[in-house]
């Protein structure tokens, strides 16, 4: 599962990194504790143009009765994604990349009720490219002008390093498959499915952080700093 992540890179840097031609006018605040149901940056492609946009995190299928459906769809399991009604249409035509500067996972601690949060990020400090899906939902089916664009993060099996912390991790796409993943004309589901594999362990590093990240109302760069020995003793 991926329920919290960091989005601290400014949009112009993300645009350069992901070779984006158009950038949304919706400027999102720097966030170190991004939670579901908020807007997040996404990279999408349409009409041959790659865009950096802002979508609601929590995929709302086109057939949903209301937006609350997205509360349970912040993640899409890679296993069986081509068969699940909530995701199979998006997997075929509406794939995206969700940029992140790192993410949090919680590790069970033997003998303790509270779990230890970890911040996981790239060794080189570059952004992560989460594999994602997006959808268009219309609150009024008779009105095409009002739409909600939402997204979900695809998760799969962990690599050896993340398996020590959690049994799931986001699918992280390497740069050499971004074109293939984002192309809405690419409907080779077998080949696309083969991209949903764990990122190499060497790509990532992780360290324990303060449990303050458990509170969605808490935000700030201190959340990704290594927990002090004193903080760890309190866990």
- Per the structure, the count of domains in the chain is 1
Q: Is 6 helix (H, G, I), strand (E, B) or coil?
A: strand
Task: Tell me the pLDDT band of 235, cut-offs 50, 70 and 90.
Answer: very low
Residue 178's contacts (CB-CB under 8 Å, 6 or more residues apart) are: 18, 19, 43, 97, 129
When pLDDT is averaged across residues 37-48 and rounded to a whole number, the result is: 96
CATH number, domain at 165? 3.90.1680.10
Active site (catalytic) residues: 2, 105
Give CA–CA dist 127/17, Å, rounded: 8
CA distance 107 to 115: 5
Residue 167: inside a domain, yes or no? yes
The answer to whether position 226 is within a domain reads: no
Within a domain: residue 168? yes
Q: Is residue 62 part of a domain?
A: yes
Tell me the pTM.
Answer: 0.94
Whether the per-residue pLDDT at 145 is higher than 80: the answer is no
The whole domain housing 166 covers 5-106+127-202
In a domain, 209, yes or no: no
User: What average pLDDT does this structure show over 22-32?
Assistant: 95
157 in a structural domain = yes
pLDDT at 182 over 90: yes
Residue 220 in this model has a pLDDT that exceeds 60? yes
Q: Is 31 contained in some domain? A: yes
Report helix, strand or coil for 147: coil
Q: Is residue 228 part of a domain?
A: no
Instruction: Give the mean pLDDT of 58-71.
Output: 91
């Amino acid at each position: 599962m991926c329920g919290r992540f960091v989005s601290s890179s400014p949009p112009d840097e993300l645009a350069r990194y992901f070779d984006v031609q158009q950038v949304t006018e919706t400027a999102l605040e720097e966030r170190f504790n991004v939670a579901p149901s908020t807007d997040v940056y996404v990279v999408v492609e349409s009409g041959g143009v790659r865009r950096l946009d802002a979508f609601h995190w929590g995929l709302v299928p086109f057939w949903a009765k209301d937006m609350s459906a997205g509360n349970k769809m912040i993640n899409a399991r890679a296993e069986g994604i081509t068969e699940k009604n909530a995701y199979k249409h998006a997997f075929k035509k509406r794939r995206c990349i969700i940029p992140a500067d790192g993410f949090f996972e919680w590790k069970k601690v033997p003998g303790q009720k509270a779990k230890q949060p970890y911040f996981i990020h790239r060794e080189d400090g570059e952004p992560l490219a989460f594999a994602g899906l997006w959808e268009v939902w219309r609150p009024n089916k008779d009105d095409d002008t009002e739409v909600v664009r939402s997204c979900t993060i695809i998760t799969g099996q962990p690599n050896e390093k993340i398996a020590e912390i959690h049994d799931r991790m986001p699918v992280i796409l390497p740069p050499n498959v971004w074109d293939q993943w984002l192309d809405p004309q690419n409907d080779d589901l077998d080949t696309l499915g083969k991209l949903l594999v764990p990122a190499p362990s060497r790509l990532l590093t992780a360290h324990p952080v303060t449990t303050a990240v458990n509170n969605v109302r808490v935000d700030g760069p201190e959340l990704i700093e290594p927990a002090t020995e004193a903080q760890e003793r309190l866990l």
